Structure 1
């Protein structure tokens, strides 16, 4: 009788162990399925993080003007303003910082070639393309402020060297209250010129003219320069 009881207990123990193993295997399977789902999600995110059409078009302009660009840390791309009042090629913002920057890049190579050809033609009088950055800066500063009441200065040589530029100016602006500029209060507009090559314009927007604003300007504007 004892032998039968013992054998029965052993059989029950085996059944319990078998149930635990089977149940454990069933628990492992959903975990493996979850892991697969996570991998699929990661791939989806990676695929959606592709180069935007705006960046592709901007890259073409950069190449034409012989400008190098490295996307800075802490920024994200936003849609550039392109309307009757303001036309820019690329834009970025610092999330949660009330700070963004707009870029406009233009090649002057074809204009320079036309200017050189016109030197031998008395009927044609073309403006020197290497001075166009001056008119561009004034026009945009006036459009942003509504008048000529802004602070302007020449870019110092050490700053020009950093951008491989030959000339440049900066304009500190008190902005008009405009939907196009998202009602920002202030901006620093920078124009840079590389002779016979191209122009760069950058506009940095803020609501506070504090030390943080000028730190953010350094982070934003150091991302591009003329190729040496």
Structure 2
């Protein structure tokens, strides 16, 4: 059914997408790098923005129009190291985006990744990742790295076999035309119902980069509303 089904975060209820294993995060809700500027430079968002920009479960369900999602485990405070095999390998970024350490990097001020599984026991899920960087140029570099990787994967079929799995999963990637500073694409697992997809939307606001991911039948509307809401909270 739809995109990857097993939640592979250690002990986490993640819903639909297969996420690479990662040790439990620290109790602190936000990880702040020692490289964070102090005081905050003019025109830059502080590292604490990763604590106020993401949507809470009530916000997500209000935008969805009903109680589709429930609270998951504690937010992760660092991107994941994605392991396994992806063909073509350059499209791995399209599957995991900002959650991938290879994209988000290690030079961030603060990082937060939140997962809200479907409340009805299905494999739907809503995810959001928010990252702040010390400089505008750093955030821009990360966003353009993501865009440069996702764009060429549009129209391609990407096969992923995660570490420890005996089978690969095939995804069809479709990239939409968007405004500057916005990146939106869709993953559809081969064999799933046509409208059973994951919709990614990533944006850059000053020195902050974020993404939202909505998975399930007819996904897309919530992703757009949530991205608009995060963007408004970031200014």
TM-score for the superposition, normalised by structure 1: 0.45
In our comparison, the structure showing a higher alpha carbon Rg is: 1
Q: Which has the higher contact order (CA 8 A, sep 6+)?
A: 2
Q: Which has the higher helix share?
A: 1
TM-score for the superposition, normalised by structure 2: 0.44
